[in-house]
Structure 1
């Protein structure tokens, strides 16, 4: 059977690019030439005759499946996609998995704009028969109309690499061009999230677990009180953020974010931490380049009293190397005003250089971090070298795993004053390792439950500054 010039695409919900109707001609080209060779070695290509219909175990099912596929073939040939869809949908539980039935059902669903339903059929067909280009093209088309441009691009490029007929090459090229245009388009949008969680923090005051410390280069020993050592506590944490994007042109926009967080420890209020922030920027997209200029203001309270204000400006650049890869770079200048100790006021410059990889169900990002401080006191300022790694794995539609690793090497710029009893004349050199693993369960598209475990190991050439910290947390995120 040769599938006709599927005019039914006019019924697809939403705007339908001219390239979409041309893509359906791929069926003619492949079924008439390239796919004929595959039909001789596989039952993958749907057909309306007995020779290619898969045999079932019993005679009644054979007749029923064969007659169903014959009716579907006629309806699709006559471009009556609604009737084909209505015929096939009630029979899914009986016949899904049969390649002819899956194709007819998925194709009719796509023609009516039900791309979510079509996606499952074509994902199964493409997985079982990866050499059939028609299945891969229909899968790519479903991804495209569902807005998954990365997955659509990947499938289109794979067919393109097999050197299909010229008309198919042209159609794929038009889709790839439209994918780039969609990536660059900016639309008004708003969103946000609220999160509530609770857990246990083994060292909420980030203190050493030593009982004693040396003074005056070991001449004296001081015993630390219980309040001066690491303390554990249960806690709850609340977070919220709202954001808005306002287009300036089709490829540029302004963005704004407002957010707040609170961590409340059950043991006492001394180290409860509150944060309020606002950020905004202007983004421009040109080809594979994505550039953003932005700024941010944050204010922190510790134990209910003012702790720190931070004002920063940054520039970010992302470049898409390939459908699954992009590079990124950023430069941030921040001014930190410590409201409790002026010696801790800092002007910091930080650069990050990294890359990100994203496949259908797995993604990973990594970045090299370089930073330097200009402080009121050089013994409080430091030079930083670090590495960030983040990874996410989608197990299925509901379950996901994620992990992160943060490494830092801190070299302080000056000696601690000689009159300091604990470490006079010493220059601090420290390393931090922070690892986190987590699991998320998505109950609804907007509602996710999660649990995660993180651990911080902070090492120093001065034992007083060393500490360990473990946090176990579970919570819920609601996005909107």
Structure 2
């Protein structure tokens, strides 16, 4: 049995191995000055490095930011122009280029870059900064425009333990597909699609609709294909440096062609820009898991319909090309008493994500580690003697995900993913099981993503 310490050591070593080369894209002294928002010194340092590093898109972005914030606007234009020539899809650089042109009162150039931004942007164009640009340039129609975006993904991969669900839309399988968590290995092919629509409705609120679907088929493993759908509706509001969003979702899931569950969710979120580099977020989520009778057939009637309530908080910090994000959450899950069953638990978790965006190679690389503790409890005294042995029943779940995205053509991204998950448990949940719920899973995936 792997210990929690050993699993964390593995996750941290993998993350450290990836992060070392990521942080060397911009000279350390320049990066430190930017992080400290000492833009005058940052510009001086950028000038000193320009002869040797000018033309590298990552350096040019840092140079442009230092120049713009220190009042050297013409230098900023020159630097950001070099970035977007090398990477036309660098949205952040183009936004700052618009800001620089407007500061120079070059409205025609700003309008040209604004048109390019609207063409390449797959996200909402109604942020406060972009709306202020539109106001300065006399673009009044933006407020009432609807925004749509869609994405299609094709991928293949290998799964060393498909008998457990790693993600919500894979089922979060209790007891596995075959009543245990024995390792079942297989290759898979997957196709997924997403669609989004948003439109202003009133008083600064934007309504949005989202739809997503995924189908994964495994070779030579019967009854394990996964089909998931998700439909979401909600509203969002941006108010200066603060934003709010509220949504409702329904997510049906099928495994092996049989209806596994339907998940109902309500979400509320709040975020605040502490400064240009730091964001703070709070969230609340209520979920209802409506399990199908098929689940009872697979795992001998031990899984109840249940509800979950989670509270989350996080902070993110973005520098020129590197961002850090820490998220933590806590919550509880309880079974439907009418089911007469005992599945209930408290959950606590934390994750850290490091992302590096390279303008030079039109790519994004990230590493994420997470840890989750599940403390299980009985809600039906009838099962207390069977379910508990006197020892605290728990699962310690830890994992790491590494990923790389590279833009290979207009709106087309090649991506690769590796995920590792390890669960350390002392639960003997059903008497016919021969071992606790310990398991490992490795997932490898590569594919193409096309945005529209």
Query: How far apart, in 1, do the equivalents of 2:254 and 2:179 lie?
Result: 24
1:323 partner SS: coil
1:360 partner SS: coil
Judged with a 3 Å threshold, the aligned counterparts in structure 2 of structure 1 residues 446 and 147 are, in CA distance, closer, same or farther, namely closer
Kept in 2: contact 1:122–1:138 (CA 8 A): no
Give the structure 1 partner of residue 439 of structure 2. 467
2:225 pairs with one of 272, 276, 285: 272
After TM superposition, give the deviation of residue 444 of structure 1 in Å. 1.7
Kept in 1: contact 2:378–2:387 (CA 8 A): no
Are residues 1:392 and 2:346 paired?
Answer: no
Are residues 1:407 and 2:407 paired?
Answer: no
Give the structure 1 partner of residue 267 of structure 2. 314
After TM superposition, give the deviation of residue 334 of structure 1 in Å. 1.1
After TM superposition, give the deviation of residue 238 of structure 1 in Å. 1.4
Gaps of 5+ in 1: 1-40, 45-95, 103-116, 161-176, 208-224
1:383 pairs with one of 336, 342, 346: 346
Kept in 1: contact 2:60–2:80 (CA 8 A): no
Q: TM-score, normalised by structure 1?
A: 0.60
Are residues 1:293 and 2:293 paired?
Answer: no
After TM superposition, give the deviation of residue 302 of structure 1 in Å. 1.2
Judged with a 3 Å threshold, the aligned counterparts in structure 2 of structure 1 residues 152 and 337 are, in CA distance, closer, same or farther, namely same
Query: How far apart, in 2, do the equivalents of 1:249 and 1:128 lie?
Result: 38
Give the structure 2 partner of residue 441 of structure 1. 406
After TM superposition, give the deviation of residue 406 of structure 1 in Å. 2.1
1:370 pairs with one of 322, 330, 333: 330
Judged with a 3 Å threshold, the aligned counterparts in structure 2 of structure 1 residues 378 and 351 are, in CA distance, closer, same or farther, namely farther
User: Which structure exhibits the higher relative contact order, with contacts defined as CA atoms closer than 8 Å and separated by 6 or more residues?
Assistant: 2
Query: How far apart, in 2, do the equivalents of 1:120 and 1:389 lie?
Result: 23
After TM superposition, give the deviation of residue 344 of structure 1 in Å. 2.2
Map residues 201-220 of structure 1 onto 2, 5 A cutoff.
Answer: 201-206=159-164
Map residues 115-264 of structure 1 onto 2, 5 A cutoff.
Answer: 133-138=72-77, 148=92, 152=96, 181=132, 187-206=145-164, 229-249=182-202, 251-264=204-217
Kept in 1: contact 2:67–2:76 (CA 8 A): no
2:395 pairs with one of 430, 438, 446: 430
Q: TM-score, normalised by structure 2?
A: 0.64
Give the structure 2 partner of residue 220 of structure 1. none
Is 136-145 or 321-330 further displaced after alignment?
136-145
RMSD value, Cα: 4.3
Query: How far apart, in 1, do the equivalents of 2:406 and 2:447 lie?
Result: 11
Give the structure 2 partner of residue 20 of structure 1. none
Deviations 1:373-419 (A, max 9, x none): 12136741110000122222123342331122221000012289777
Map residues 51-62 of structure 1 onto 2, 5 A cutoff.
Answer: none
Kept in 2: contact 1:417–1:425 (CA 8 A): no
* Number of residue pairs aligned between Structure 1 and Structure 2: 336
After TM superposition, give the deviation of residue 134 of structure 1 in Å. 4.7
After TM superposition, give the deviation of residue 473 of structure 1 in Å. 1.1
2:424 partner SS: strand
1:457 pairs with one of 417, 422, 426: 422
1:452 partner SS: strand
